[in-house]
Structure 1
Amino acid sequence: MQADKVVDYIVNWLKEYATNAKMNGFVVGISGGIDSALTSTLCAKTGFPTLCVEMPIHQAQSQVSRGREHIAQLKERFPNVSSLEVDLTPFFETFKTAVPDASDNDNLFLSLANARARMRMTTLYYFAGLHKYLVAGTGNKVEDFGVGFYTKYGDGGVDLSPIADLMKSEVYQLAATVNVPQSILQAKPTDGLWGDDRTDEDQIGASYDQLEWAMLQDEIGKIDSDFEGEEKRVFSLYKKLNNANQHKMLPIPVCKIPVHLHK
């Protein structure tokens, strides 16, 4: 990949989109991870106002520290960058007391994790509305179009997706090119939605390198029977997640009423 040229291409794409949409800038949720660090840096490089928002909810201190380090570095480099921290922990705790008790439901923890992501989306759109900014998505190609590893209407609720055509390995390439802090480049990817130290690999069951491989094999028409051992396990896992999460990747189904019923 020609990293410098790809950076310039994405930055120009962002500038053109914001200009044509008659919007004033960008807002990005900062997690302390590689994807949000790259996205916010690309937005900052446009010269448009870029608001970085930290939204901790019982967040691990390591994630908070990395996010703050990145924002501090970004503000030193770009005068158009500003930041806010909105502690959503009280909001999250109030929400848990407002809904009926579901402590015996096996889906409780996943539902709460997704609720965190949706609270953050609501917060980003609040600031986007105040300032006439665009919410910049931070999902990469493997997450958004491979295994669907994101929350529908959470981190999937965005106005535009500048890095969604980049594999995770390419995200790392570009992040190094734009000088994202080493602490973020070296950290294990995590969505930070569970209040513990589980990584993306722990949740998915395969590394991003493995998922990239499986995605490429699927794109060239390979099937389960083409593989054995660990390769077969990873490919089967990829296909299972890809199929299960098509509802995130395809347009919302619309019930089309037959013409004769309108008469």
Structure 2
Amino acid sequence: MQTEKVVNHIVDWLKDYATKAKVNGFVVGISGGIDSAVTSTLCAKTGLDVLCLEIPIHQAESHVSRAHEHIAQLQKRFTNVQETRVDLTPVFEEFKTEVSLEGKQETVDMALANTRARLRMTTLYYHAGLLGRLVAGTGNKVEDFGVGFYTKYGDGGVDLSPIADLMKSEVYELGKYLEVPESIMEAAPSDGLFGDARSDEDQIGASYPELEWAMKMKDEGKTADDFEGRKRIVFEIFTSYNTANQHKMIPIPVCEIPNILR
């Protein structure tokens, strides 16, 4: 990958989109992970105003410390970067007192995890509305179009997606070029939605390099029968997520009314 040219292309694309939309900058949720670090740095390089928004909800300390480190580093490098911290933990806890928590614990936990992401999305759009800015998404290609590993109308609710055509490995290439802190470069990817440090691999059952491989194989028309051992397991994991999460990757279905019924 021609890293410098890709960076310049994304920065120009961001600047052009913002100019045409007649907005003065971006809002980015900072998680302490590689995707949000790369996205916020790309936004900062446009020269437009960037609000780095930290939105913890029972966040693991390692995530919080990496987010702080990244924002501090970014502000030393770019004068157009501002920061705000909104602790949504009390809001989340109050929400839980008003809804039913009955049912299978695994189902309840997942519903609450998705609620965290949606509370964060609401907060990002609140600040974007106040400031007249766009919410920049942080999803990469594997997450957004491979396994659908994001929350619909949560971290999937954004105005534009600058890194969504980059594989996770390519995001790391950009991270190195953009001088993202080593603590973030070396950290295991995590969605941070469960209040602990569990990684994406812990949840999915496969690493991002494995998922990238499976995504490529699927694009080449391969099936699970073409593999055995670990490769078959990984391919089946990818296919299962890809199939189950198609509703996130395609436009919302619209029931079209036949003219004869009008």
- TM-score range (shorter-chain normalised) is over 0.9
Aligned to 1:132: 132
Q: Could you tell me how far apart the structure 2 residues matched to 1:203 and 1:188 are?
A: 12
Aligned to 2:156: 156
Instruction: Report SS of the residue matched to 1:52.
Output: strand
Amino acid of the residue matched to residue 259 of structure 2? Answer: V
Structure 1: gaps (5+ residues): none
Instruction: Report SS of the residue matched to 1:107.
Output: helix
Show CA shifts across 1:31-86 (max 9, x none).
Answer: 00000000000000000000000000000111000000000000000000000000
Q: How does 1:67-106 map to 2 (within 5 A)?
A: 67-102=67-102, 104=104, 106=106
Q: Could you tell me how far apart the structure 1 residues matched to 2:118 and 2:191 are?
A: 13
The answer on whether the counterparts of 2:30 and 2:55 sit within 8 Å (CA) in structure 1 is yes
Aligned to 1:16: 16
Aligned to 1:54: 54
Amino acid of the residue matched to residue 30 of structure 2? Answer: I
Q: How far has the Cα of 1:100 moved from its partner?
A: 2.3
Aligned to 1:179: 179
TM-score, normalising length: structure 1: 0.98
Aligned-residue Cα RMSD (Å) equals: 0.8
Q: How far has the Cα of 1:224 moved from its partner?
A: 1.0
Q: Percent identity?
A: 67
Aligned to 2:3: 3
Structure 2: gaps (5+ residues): none
Amino acid of the residue matched to residue 235 of structure 1? Answer: F
Q: Could you tell me how far apart the structure 2 residues matched to 1:139 and 1:231 are?
A: 25
Amino acid of the residue matched to residue 49 of structure 1? Answer: D
Q: How far has the Cα of 1:196 moved from its partner?
A: 1.4
Q: Could you tell me how far apart the structure 1 residues matched to 2:55 and 2:13 are?
A: 27
Q: How far has the Cα of 1:137 moved from its partner?
A: 0.2
Amino acid of the residue matched to residue 129 of structure 2? Answer: G
Q: Could you tell me how far apart the structure 2 residues matched to 1:121 and 1:20 are?
A: 23
The answer on whether the counterparts of 2:62 and 2:197 sit within 8 Å (CA) in structure 1 is no
Q: Does 1:111 align with 2:111?
A: yes
Q: How far has the Cα of 1:95 moved from its partner?
A: 0.2
TM-score, normalising length: structure 2: 0.99
The answer on whether the counterparts of 2:137 and 2:159 sit within 8 Å (CA) in structure 1 is yes
Show CA shifts across 1:153-209 (max 9, x none).
Answer: 000000000000000000000011000000000000000000112100000000000
Aligned residues: 262
Q: Could you tell me how far apart the structure 2 residues matched to 1:150 and 1:253 are?
A: 19
Aligned to 2:147: 147
* Divergent runs of 4+, >3 A: 103-106
